[in-house]
Structure 1
């Protein structure tokens, strides 16, 4: 038997369906051999009974009997193959293991599935190392294309021609088989799959480089944002500490003023009480003397001793010397103006502290100072605040702002009437509208009567203590904040908060009256930071 098996080729011991050594081999009427289970399952899946090799059709399903001769030969061949496999290098033992989830299993293994080592694009089957052996040793199977194990091998076959997808149509950007190039893709640009693979792989390399660059940019942006947050936290802590210090000082000033007020009132009350106590003591002493004299007079009037009464009468007939209390009184102390003076003194103290705060705040916002230039060619009528047609015109800076913070100053000392602030670009054409945030203007105005107001919604009168000679304007676009400062007095004139900026902001100026507007603009230009 052993000698006979040596005369047979290895192909004769393999089932053409499972491509493994025969298990219970059977011979069908056309003479071809298959594993009994393989041919039975094959016929169960098809309506007609057909030989997988020669395609011969049988009208009735043949009765299958195990071919004992081939079975014995296959068993001997299997034993020989197992001995050969067991003597192979131990370095390949890692490939002989059960497939894990996510790994491609061997399609031939029955029972426990081993990990597939390769997949065949011709057979559309994945093989473990043992079942891959025929593809590595048999001449007919060596020509098959093997790839690293993959799932869904059916998807690598042309659905129309049942051929491997070995080419790529650059015209339609699809994978095709050889027969497709003679039909639907006959005139198209078709290249080998490997060639297109190399090109696409190079493109993916560029794409990956771009993605990595984007990742790096975003990482840098994250670091930048984290640094901004850290700086913000430090600024917040510093601001909180400064605020706590200021409010603690203010609280101490209020408490100190309150204590001084209470001490002043109590001191006045103590003086009044002390004065009253002195008067009462004197009165009580006089009452005591008068009572004593009254007792002596009563005792003398009851005496029967004529001589004694006459001798004592001169000294007891008159009242003892006392003080004239008619004009003496104790008046409650007057507290008129006490609280007012205390509050005024507190206000003066707070004003000094507020001045220090505004000086510090002004220095802080002045670090955002920008250089501006006015554009005399963009002079427009200024929106009015009343129905009176004043000959007022306005001009904007050539530079606009759409984010962040900026600060500028303007000398207004020589103007009797003026308007200063910022305006949105879209608002420049609203010549018939009024100055207000609703129309895109955030300004402060000095009226001809000498008063000041902020054209808010509604307008706000500004009771300024002094006439500003230089006005500073600070804008925080992102926070929606516009602040006006009297830079010489280091005081806050007015603040617009919660502003909704939707367009470019331009510094906005209107010196009125405009009898010599060009001269005003020339002067104004010199004082813009």
Structure 2
């Protein structure tokens, strides 16, 4: 049940004279209540005996007695105010996060220091006693903390100023002389600094882990975007390929139906011709049969014998035994299906190669040649997009990056993902293209361009010999001479592929490669060959195939 004080407002418990909560409240005859001291002082100083509230005048000075009911109500109200004030201080502490003075009443000020002797916290005003009173100046003061009692050794009632590394607990000076006498003891501040540094290191490691995972999330999201793009492009390409194949099949079907119809029409005409011939022979044979029948009916022997020589000779007839009309289209269908299969196979290979080239061209990068890696006999264009073999050593300063072999590397590198670039080789009689590890031996003239040495390349030698320089070189048979070669690398997949760009044909692929470091584009323009191979290798901009 709610108390009476909780049902009344603050005004009901305030004296109208001192404007504070009643102290020893009394009621005068008019019914108004006042503090006993307040109304007594009022009657002592006023000539008329009247109520300060309603101004009612009394004949004589009222006798004052404490109203116990109102006194109890006022006491409860005063306790309620104190409780609210205490709660307000706790709320203030929770909101600001500060340590508050234990001495302040009402709104509490921020504490500056805590005393480990008094076990209380003090604001600047209430801290003065610890600075002025001789007895209190020797108290141990620390920066303000919550619950100062937790900083005291419960056994020796001394500040916890040391740390026992053996038991991993805080101790006081007396503890080191008793139960922790043989333990490893260090100052609390020293252990604090050590743990703080350890926490800082751990926090840095956690932050690093967070950053790595955030980067991984970005990587996965980017991979998802690329996957969506790949799916969309592959879907469009698949529709295009299958639509083309369907059209090719429909074309072949139309041609087959036309062939069947034409053959049937030829057969029909031939059959009609045979029938006409047969009908004509039948007509002649019927005439012959009629003459023979008429002559055979003659009963006069002389007449029959005289008429027989004048009988018309038998009409010429054809031997129809071997005449047949062939209606089967099995051979036509077989030939048409074989031709369709061949056509579809060629179209499919061509379209798949075209789709594959379009796919890898999406990963094109702008490659420029690195002059610091170029052999001293190589001449680079000003835009670092072309390279050819010169006749003289350029006498440039030595550089640890420079290749002793007849080659130059691209500035760009790849350590993850995919990239693609194209090189014009038109007019060349020899060249080598591909990618190379960043740590290849750059000063070894006899180093072979094999994967075991960090090279993945294809080459042209002697004007017509194409090879994939695997650990055992593989001769390549190409339908046409490439004018422009595309180089594609998928780092994670361990794939290096070469394409004839104009023919949209795959030249060769290195598969199952193990990449563990950066890869750079590799260009070798070959020797000058008395001017026959003076045409430069040219890094081309990628024109996406539509």
TM bracket (short chain): 0.5 to 0.7
Quick one: distance in 1 between partners of 2:310 and 2:521? 101
In structure 2, the CA distance between the partners of 1:345 and 1:481, relative to structure 1 (3 Å rule), is same
What residue number does 2:430 align with? 417
- Alignment check: 8 A CA contact 2:499 2:507 kept: yes
Q: Which residue of 1 aligns with 2:229?
A: 235
Contact 2:354–2:505, Cα closer than 8 Å, also in 1: no
Residue by residue, what CA displacement relative to the aligned partner does 1:383-403 show, whole Å, maximum 9, x if unpaired?
xxxxxxxxx944241634322
Q: Deviations over 1:418-474 (max 9, x none)?
A: 221112245547876754435433211223261323234665543323222232222
**Structure 1 residue matching 2:486: 3-state secondary structure:** strand
Equivalent residues of 1:419, 1:443 under 8 A apart: yes
Q: Does 1:224 align with 2:218?
A: yes
Contact 1:169 1:185 in 2 (8 A): no
State the 1:369 CA deviation. Answer: 2.5
- C-alpha contact 1:421 1:509 (8 A) present in aligned 2: yes
Report the equivalent of 1:246: 240
Q: Secondary structure at the match of 2:237?
A: helix
C-alpha distance in 1 between matches for 2:158 and 2:376: 73
For the 8 Å contact 1:396–1:506, the answer to whether it is kept is: no
> Is residue 465 of structure 2 the alignment partner of residue 445 of structure 1?
no
2: CA distance between counterparts of 1:501 and 1:219? 24
- Indicate yes or no: 2:302 matched with 1:304: no
Q: Does 1:403 align with 2:398?
A: no
Q: Counterpart in 1 of 2:286?
A: 292
Query: How far, CA to CA, are the matches of 2:240 and 2:475 in structure 1?
Result: 28
The residue matched to 2:497 in structure 1 has which SS?
strand
Is the partner of 2:170 in helix, strand or coil? strand
For the structure 1 residues 501 and 219, does the alpha-carbon distance in structure 2 shift closer, same or farther, using more than 3 Å as the test?
Answer: closer
TM norm structure 1: 0.53
Q: Could you tell me which residue of structure 1 aligns to residue 170 of structure 2? A: 175
In the alignment, which residue of structure 1 is the partner of 2:508? 494
1:372 alignment partner in structure 2: 369
State how 1:115-134 maps to structure 2 within 5 Å: none
Contact 2:284–2:315, Cα closer than 8 Å, also in 1? yes
1:163 Cα shift? 7.8
Unmatched segments (≥5 aa) in structure 2: 1-78, 87-115, 117-138, 140-144, 379-403, 542-546
Q: CA-to-partner distance for each residue in 1:76-100, whole Å, 9 max, x for gaps?
A: xxxxxxxxxxx999999xxxxxxxx
The alpha carbon displacement at 1:201 in A equals 9.7
1:318 aligns with 2:313: yes
RMSD: 5.6
Q: Structure 1 CA distance, aligned partners of 2:208 and 2:454?
A: 38
Deviations 1:361-392 (A, max 9, x none): 465233x2322224235899xxxxxxxxxxx9
CA 351–175 in structure 1, closer or farther in 2 if over 3 Å, else same = closer
Distance 2:410 2:274 in 1: 84
| Cα drift, residue 318 of structure 1 | 2.5
Aligned residues: 373
- CA spacing shift, 1:511–1:207, aligned 2, 3 Å: closer
The separation in 2 between residues aligned to 1:488 and 1:321, in whole angstroms, is 69
Q: For 2:202 and 2:519, how far apart are their aligned partners in 1?
A: 41
Contact 2:425-2:483 at 8 Å conserved across structures: yes
Which deviates the most, 262-271 or 199-208?
A: 199-208
Q: TM-score, normalised by structure 2?
A: 0.51
For residues 370 and 418 of structure 1, the distance between their equivalents in structure 2, rounded to whole angstroms, comes to 18
Query: Does the C-alpha gap of structure 1 residues 179 and 502 become closer, same or farther in structure 2, counting only changes over 3 Å?
Result: same
